Amino acid sequence: MATLEDLGVSAFINILSAFVFLVLFAVLRIQPVNDRVYFPKLYIAGKRTHDHRSRSSAVTRFVNLNPCTYVAFLSWVPGALRMSEAELVAHAGLDSAVYLRIYTLGLKIFLPITTLALLVLVPVNVYGGTLRGLGKDIAFSDIDKLSISNVSPGSNRFFFHLLMAYVFTFWVCIMLYKEYSNVAFMRLHFLASQKRCADQFTVIVRNIPRVSSHSTSETVDEFFRRNHPDHYLGQQPVYNANRYAKLVKQKERLQNWLDYYELKFERHPGKRPTGRTGCLGFCGSEVDQIEYYRARISEIERRMASERQKVLNDPKAIMPVSFVTFDSRWGAAVCAQTQQSKNPTQWLTDWAPEPRDVYWQNLAIPFFSLSIRRFLISIAVFALVFFYMIPIAFVQSLANLEGLEKVAPFLKPVIETKVVKSFLQGFLPGLALKIFLYILPTVLLIMSKVEGYVSLSSLERRTASKYYYFMLVNVFLGSVIAGTAFEQLYAFLHQPPSQIPKTIGVAIPMKATFFMTFIMVDGWAGIANEILRVKPLVIYHLKNMFIVKTERDRERAMDPGSIELGENLPSLQLYFLLGLVYAVVTPLLLPFIIIFFAFAFLVYRHQIINVYNQEYESAAAFWPQVHSRIIASMLISHVLLFGLMSTKKAAYSTPLLIFLPLLTIWFHKYCKSRFEPAFRKYPLEEAMEKDNMEHASEPNLNLKSFLATAYLHPIFHLFEEAAKEAAAKEEETVEVRIDKAQRQQNRHEEAQARSSSQHQETHFRSTHETYYHHEASHVSRSTQYHEGIHVRSDTDSPSPPHFIYHYDIES
């Protein structure tokens, strides 16, 4: 058991490290060389450009020499707070704005609860005074004197705790209701004020049955012409192009190398670059690199051409999935919300995700396989959740100092040093846990992909929900029980498994200090680390040194990242759980949570404004999950309080506590029916309103052409490119690669050659009109599809606006 002193040391360490991180951040962020690490969102949004390079000296290009800017190391805070919520929605999307509301919700819930708990429950606990009398045979820490453990069993003081449990539950419910209502309103408002989007007119149809005499496209056409005669507009078949995508990726890599060597040759025209072809350039025969890569590229292009023919001509390459478009939002809303076919497993319709949100690989999974996949994955998640506990428990038993001394007696003198001991006891268990959790989201994301969800947003939500179960069992329950379990393993094995809730209830107050350390490590230092962006910083500079060959590579080395809902939602939900469980039991834990929420709010607001790049817009589709998880946390806190009370011989508590979970469940049901439809369905009233407005303002709108390419499978854009390329080759023998990156590079080089003032104007227009998605280098996102539409209208390319798609699938 950690004492108050241990806790103090831990707090000191964590506050210190958070402070160090903040100072480091303050220094690093104002260095121009780190600009692309700390302000990538501004680059993407076109609010910051590359011009500092041309106007200043070599030194100031990399280091900020203005001493004034170093003084105010918290100067980012007002900046983070300055932007209003409406601006935030415009700048970073509704998802980000609503994500920040989770933190403010945390503050709104826990600030009054903390005040009340500290004013009422702490005095009650202190004057309960049993433990003081028990002597030293049980090693209770000082914190326990302020917790419910200090109240003697059978005491009437437990009425205060029951009353507070009711008050807290009501308060949380009120806050949740208000917030759900706000978010639902924001969502509807956002959707209503959105400009015309392809996904408003499009429905994704899955499990199209195979009709022997017809092609899939014909079947779809016939079906929708028959069943939606008034509104059906067209359809976009989906091609299975995973092999082609692999080739594209391969070609791109080779192209990069070719660019690099050509650049090298340009700079030193006398020496043609050579190298070996074998493994890692160390063996094999010596060849001219430019020739070599050109040959390999043309080889790949040949294979691409044959693969392309295969995709286009093979009917099996058309998947039983289609994006069906309608001539009005009303028609699409109707089709998405109704059942189409007599067989409910065929012609499954749903809203099409945003084009950039589609996860193409999962589109072809049939219904039955989907059901099997989900079952298998749920078993796998179950196994992961329950057997992952073993290594954590092992590491934690090592982190237990007595255990460590037994395993490694030679460490004893070091460990026994007071400072080291406090450090280890305060820091190790939380840290071990954090490391374990680090690789997990990736695994869970892959699991979600196997489950067959078709949009990135739903994948993230599914990952979040798996991660939540994991956190609940392993971080929360695992920490509560395992820590106790190693002290009383024998007794525990011989208790019936149904006793667990009670055991947890009893263990809860004892683990308060552990969770305080956890909050400090994970919440305080962790968030400070988030703003410092150590990993992207290091990787960016490493890439800059070793890999970046062209300006385009520098752009690719910039890793804005995103909010990572799959990882952050569950952690947030864990904090809510801790807060709600300990609100009645050990109120002293609450201030730690409040500091976390406040600090994290500032940091994430700053990051959302300056760093993260939104990958898709789901219009806050994750809120129902956030809401129901907080409800679940409340229910867990009620059950545990129940377990705790039953060991405290407070017999009257049973009938009083039984209504709390009932009320909570009713509240949840009410909120679900009241607000959830706003997140799952699209009201016809709304659809009709927007349709009518559009008809009135643009009576001659050609919707068909607007929708024609929106859900075109990326392969088609590449096909167009390829066809153009082939034509160009024939015309001019000179190889003209119509490539987004190449163009951009050319543009930058031209721009640099021109006068800076003229350049600035031009470039601003260009980047402003560029809707760009950076390709993430994270393994967790490497299989996603990124699409960017480049509308070129700057002066150095007088060609008409032109769509170029960038495409990246790793199967």
Of the residues 342, 545, 655, 799, which one makes contact with its own copies according to CB under 8 A: 342
Residue 671: CB minimum distance to its own copies, A: 10
**Least distance CB 698 / its own copies (angstroms):** 19
d(CA 273, CA 428): 51
Show the beta-strand stretches assigned E in 270-371. 274-276, 286-288, 318-326, 348-351
Give the residue with the Cβ less far from its own copies, 183 or 433: 183
Q: Does 496 bind its own copies (CB under 8 A)?
A: yes
Among 339, 369, 417, 758, binds its own copies (CB under 8 A): 339
Q: What is d(CA 33, CA 53) in angstroms, rounded to the nearest whole number? A: 10
**Smallest distance from its own copies to CB 495, Å:** 10
Binds its own copies (CB under 8 A): choice among 75, 115, 274, 371: 371
Q: What share of the chain is helix, strand, coil (3-state, %, to 5)?
A: 70, 5, 25
Nearer to its own copies, 130 or 345 (CB): 345
681 binds its own copies (CB under 8 A): yes
- Residue number with CB closer to its own copies (223 or 244): 223
Binding test (CB under 8 A) with its own copies, winner from 670, 727, 735, 811: 670
604 binds its own copies (CB under 8 A): no
Q: Total binding residues for its own copies by CB under 8 A? A: 48
Asked whether position 499 contacts its own copies by CB under 8 A, the answer is: yes
Q: Which of 683, 746, 764, 797 binds its own copies (CB under 8 A)?
A: 683
The distance of closest approach from Cβ of residue 227 to its own copies in the complex, given in angstroms and rounded to an integer, is: 5
Q: Out of 178, 666, 758, 779, point to the residue binding its own copies (CB under 8 A).
A: 666
Nearest approach, Cβ of residue 599 and its own copies (Å): 36
**Other CB atoms closer than 10 Å to residue 767's CB: what's the count?**
19
Residue 3: how many other CB atoms lie within 10 Å: 16
681: left (phi over 0), alpha (psi -120 to 50) or beta: beta
Burial string for 732-744 (b: 16+ CB within 10 Å, else e) reads: eeeeeeebbbebb
Structure tokens at 322: 């289609």
For its own copies, the closer CB: 123 or 677: 677
| Burial of residue 154, with CB atoms counted within 10 A of its CB: 0-12 exposed, 13-18 middle, 19 or more buried | exposed
Distance CA 139, CA 154 (A): 22
Name the residue among 474, 469, 472 with its Cα closest to residue 432.
Answer: 474
Judged by beta carbon, residue 676 or residue 796, the one nearer its own copies is 676
- Report residue 375 as tokens: 């079952």
**At residue 488, what are phi and psi to the nearest 5 degrees?**
-135, 50
Pick between residue 646 and residue 797 the one whose CB is nearest to its own copies. 646
The yes or no reply on residue 352 touching its own copies (CB under 8 A) is no
Binding region for its own copies (CB under 8 A) out of 38-46, 219-227, 313-321, 454-462: 219-227
Site membership for its own copies, residue 345 (CB under 8 A): yes
- Per-residue x/- mask for its own copies, residues 374 to 413, rule CB under 8 A? xx--xx--x-------------------------------
| Chain position carrying tokens 């103090």 | 8
User: Closer CB to its own copies, residue 333 or residue 600?
Assistant: 333
Asked if 596 is part of the footprint of its own copies (rule: CB under 8 A), the reply reads no
Cβ proximity of 460 and 620 under 8 Å: no
What's the closest the beta carbon of residue 128 comes to its own copies, in angstroms?
24
Min dist. Cβ of residue 649 to its own copies (A): 13
Question: Considering only CA atoms, which of 452, 445, 457, 455 is closest in space to residue 384?
Answer: 445
| Among 49, 194, 250, 337, interactor with its own copies by CB under 8 A | 337
Residue pair 128/155 in contact (Cβ under 8 Å)? The answer is yes
Report if residue 194 touches its own copies, rule: CB under 8 A.
no
Q: Choose among 537, 46, 550: nearest CA to 252.
A: 550
Binding its own copies (rule: CB under 8 A), the pick from 9, 89, 333, 569 is 333
Cβ 373 to its own copies shortest distance, Å: 11
Write the binding mask 502 to 531 for its own copies: x where contact by CB under 8 A, - elsewhere: x-----------------------------
Spatial neighbors of 416 by CB under 8 A, at least 6 apart, are none
- Written as one string, the DSSP assignment of 387-416 is HTHHHHHHHHHHHSHHHHHHH-GGGHHHHH
Smaller CB distance to its own copies: residue 208 or 715?
208
Contact with its own copies (CB under 8 A): which of 221, 262, 686, 796? 686
- Under the binding rule (CB under 8 A), the answer on residue 136 touching its own copies is no
CA atoms within 13 A on the CB side of 36: 23
Answer for which of 285, 498, 697, 702 binds its own copies (CB under 8 A) is: 498
Q: Which residues inside 621-660 make contact with its own copies, applying CB under 8 A?
A: 646
- Using the rule CB under 8 A, give the single segment among 31-39, 292-300, 426-434, 667-675 that binds its own copies: 667-675
The Cα 808–Cα 715 span in angstroms is: 10
Residue 39's nearest CA partner among 538, 558, 535 is: 558
Residue 135: left if φ>0, alpha if ψ -120 to 50, beta else—which one? left
H-type helices in 477-622, by residue range? Answer: 479-487, 489-493, 500-510, 512-518, 526-532, 534-546, 551-557, 565-585, 590-610
Using the rule CB under 8 A, is 473 a contact of its own copies? no
**Which listed residue (39, 168, 347, 597) binds its own copies by CB under 8 A?**
347
- Segment 223-242, which members bind its own copies (CB under 8 A)? 223, 226-228, 230
Residues 6+ apart with CB under 8 A from 689: 192
In the structure encoding, which two tokens stand for residue 164, read together? 């507070």
Distance, in Å, from the CA atom of 572 to the CA atom of 754, rounded to the nearest integer, reads 50
Q: Does 193 bind its own copies (CB under 8 A)?
A: no
CB of 494 to its own copies, least distance (A): 12
- CB nearer its own copies, residue 331 or residue 353: 331
- Footprint of its own copies on 695-714 (CB under 8 A): none
DSSP bridge pairs for 352: none
> What is the residue type of 682?
Y
Interface contacts to its own copies, rule CB under 8 A: 188, 223, 226-228, 230, 330, 333-334, 337-342, 344-345, 347, 367, 371, 374-375, 378-379, 382, 496, 498-499, 501-502, 646, 662, 666, 669-670, 673-678, 681-686, 688
